[in-house]
Amino acid sequence: MQFAASLHSTHNPTAAAAAAAASAASAASASTAAAAAAAAATRTFCKKTRRSCLLAAAAAEFIGGCCCSSCCRCSRNLLLRPFLVPFLTKQQQQQQQQEAEKQQEGEQQQQKGEQQQQQGAQQQQHRKQQQHQEQQQQQEQQQRMPVNLLQQQQQQQQHPQQQQQQQQQMRRHEKQQQKK
């Protein structure tokens, strides 16, 4: 067809100009159609704002179908930070990584503290139970003993205390004599 138009144009210059304009228009329409198809391929739907946005294909892949360009409010949403990582600078990525590591360390320390508190509470309960059992055993033994044995035992318990008191009195007496 172009060959026929070129043959015809040699004889008719106005027809040649019209044919050139037609071929340019068809090329322009083809390029606009291709651009529109490319735009449609990269257009994604934002679930939050219920709008569709034009994005680069790579951005659409990373963001997972949610638009984070300036026309949407999603970019302010902190939940989308992991999806935005490819678009941040290396320094920003390092800062975010350090913040995440610090947060993890804090959580781990908090968990350790809670575990230690639980262990301490369990140990305290265990001690209380042991003391209670010992008291019960002593009471049972005392109930089984005859009255005379009980009195002897009490006297034996009081005897060391009396000895300690006597020793303390002796020491006081010696100190007073040394002062004189």
What is the pLDDT confidence band of residue 138, given thresholds at 50, 70 and 90? confident
Across the strands, what pairs with 44?
53
User: What CA–CA distance (Å, rounded) separates 61 from 59?
Assistant: 5
Residue range 65-91, pLDDT digits in tens: 444 444 444 444 444 444 444 555 677
User: What CA–CA distance (Å, rounded) separates 121 from 106?
Assistant: 23
Q: Which residue has the higher pLDDT, 18 or 168?
A: 168
In the structure encoding, which two tokens stand for residue 69, read together?
């360009």
Among residues 30, 74, 79, 83, which one has the least CA distance to residue 50?
Answer: 74
In the structure encoding, which two tokens stand for residue 40, read together?
């449609």
What is the arithmetic mean of pLDDT over 40-54? 50
What is the pLDDT confidence band of residue 142, given thresholds at 50, 70 and 90? confident
Q: Where are the beta strands (DSSP E) in 41-179?
A: 43-46, 51-54
Q: Which amino acid is at 123?
A: Q
Residue range 108-135, pLDDT digits in tens: 999 999 999 999 999 999 999 999 999 9
Q: Which amino acid is at 121?
A: A
Q: 3-state SS of the chain: helix, strand, coil percent to 5?
A: 80, 5, 15
